[in-house]
Chains A and B, each alone.
Chain A
Amino acid sequence: MNTSTRGACFSGVFTVAKNHGAPDMRMRDEIPASRSRRPIACVTARTDWRHRATVAADLFYGPLRYRPRVGPERQGSRRVVWAVHVVFAMLVFVGLLLCLVGLMAHEAFVRNRKTDVSDAETVTAGRVALVNDHCFTIPIDLPQGPTCLPLHFERDPRGRLRFTHSQGAARIVHQDDTGVLVHVSGRWAPFTYLAFVYVIDPSTGRPSLLRVPPGMERARQAVAWTFGMAEEAWTPSRET
């Protein structure tokens, strides 16, 4: 076996290493003729680390048909394999990072939703005023001074409420036959919101928006709270 050939495969390298030590990594035409005829002389301290690296690479990348010394076209495929590995690792890292950020934001939102202290300390809402059939205004007392938050809404053909545009972000949490539960948040305090229930008087048809404590999840629960009752106890025999 010729020990100075650069294109040796895994078995060839292993055989060479077992019989003669590390091969010379230079091309055949770079090796002097006298040395190519004497393969045992190729085992030198200078090339020993390269031999070990080659054996290790063949062991690890054998299943991938890794051929480290077969020519420029194989060198290109090796780069592709590495590029795929790097891109995949970056995607996994970015994905984990996004999951972590999302989890932290969700935890903060849930923590603020469960407690009503932050909401009460940051913002106080005054009596809601009806501007017209499509707009409410909520006076809000901020630490920087009072302001007024308009909420524009409309009803779809099914009779359900929908906010069209507002200064703050109005989100409909729940609506049923008793009313509509609305959360209003804004830039005044991130991760906090004001909770309102939108009800229509059964006899006059006049709409009103009442502020309720944060943490309400259903419109019936909010309406029952405005009368100091539990949700399951809110079963009026007659409403006028």
Chain B
Amino acid sequence: MTRYRMGGILAMGLANAERRRRMGLYRQGDIVLREVSQVPEDAHPCPGGILAYGERTGHSHRIDGDGQVWRQDTRLYLELEQPSRIVHEEHETLTLPRGLYEVVGQREYVSPEEDRLVFD
């Protein structure tokens, strides 16, 4: 009984690890692209293919190729029909496989009620 239970727990752990491995996580400087299963229905398309834009430096993380950016409130999603490249003026180019991704910017703590994005 205990052996079967331990086997089940081990299998669950392995399945979670496999799921995490499959849900890819890619970082380019101060943004992270996290693989998701679907884009929210109320998201609307954003033209331009820019994932993050620095007002101070003028640098941006953007798609080099085909891809659709979706926005839901403050959240950004990226839909790639085929493997595409994410480029930036300073960072190395990142190649992503096809799929759906959530774009997460790096943030900084200000107070318990407030964070701010550090992208410049």
Total interface residues in chain A, CB < 8 Å:
28
- Chain B hits for A212, CB < 8 A: 108-109
Total interface residues in chain B, CB < 8 Å:
24
B106–A238 touching, CB < 8 Å: no
B25–A237 touching, CB < 8 Å: yes
Q: Judge if A117 is at the interface, Cβ distance under 8 Å.
A: yes
B27–A240 touching, CB < 8 Å: yes
B104–A203 touching, CB < 8 Å: no
Which of A203, A204, A211, A234 is B109 in contact with, Cβ under 8 Å?
Answer: A211
5 A-B pairs (CB sep. < 8 Å): A201-B29, A204-B91, A211-B108, A212-B108, A240-B27
Q: Judge if A48 is at the interface, Cβ distance under 8 Å.
A: no
- Chain A hits for B107, CB < 8 A: 226-228
A199-215 at interface with B (beta carbon < 8 Å): 201-204, 208, 210-213
Q: Judge if B8 is at the interface, Cβ distance under 8 Å.
A: no
Which of B90, B106, B110 is A226 in contact with, Cβ under 8 Å?
Answer: B106
Q: Judge if A239 is at the interface, Cβ distance under 8 Å.
A: yes
Which of B21, B34, B90, B118 is A203 in contact with, Cβ under 8 Å?
Answer: B90
Known: A210-B118, A237-B24, A240-B28. A124 touches B111 (CB 8 A): yes
* Binary flags per residue of B3-26, CB closer than 8 Å to A gives 1, else 0: 000000000000000001100111
- Chain A hits for B109, CB < 8 A: 195, 210-213, 225
Q: Judge if A236 is at the interface, Cβ distance under 8 Å.
A: yes
| Bound form: Cα–Cα A65–B92 in Å | 87
- Chain A hits for B21, CB < 8 A: 235
- Chain A hits for B24, CB < 8 A: 237
Known: A201-B91, A203-B92. A239 touches B27 (CB 8 A): yes
- Chain A hits for B94, CB < 8 A: 238, 240
- Chain B hits for A213, CB < 8 A: 109, 112
14 other contacts beyond A210-B106, A226-B108, with CB at 8 A cut-off?
Answer: A124-B110, A195-B109, A203-B28, A203-B92, A226-B106, A226-B118, A227-B104, A228-B107, A236-B27, A237-B24, A238-B26, A239-B27, A240-B28, A240-B91
B110–A236 touching, CB < 8 Å: no
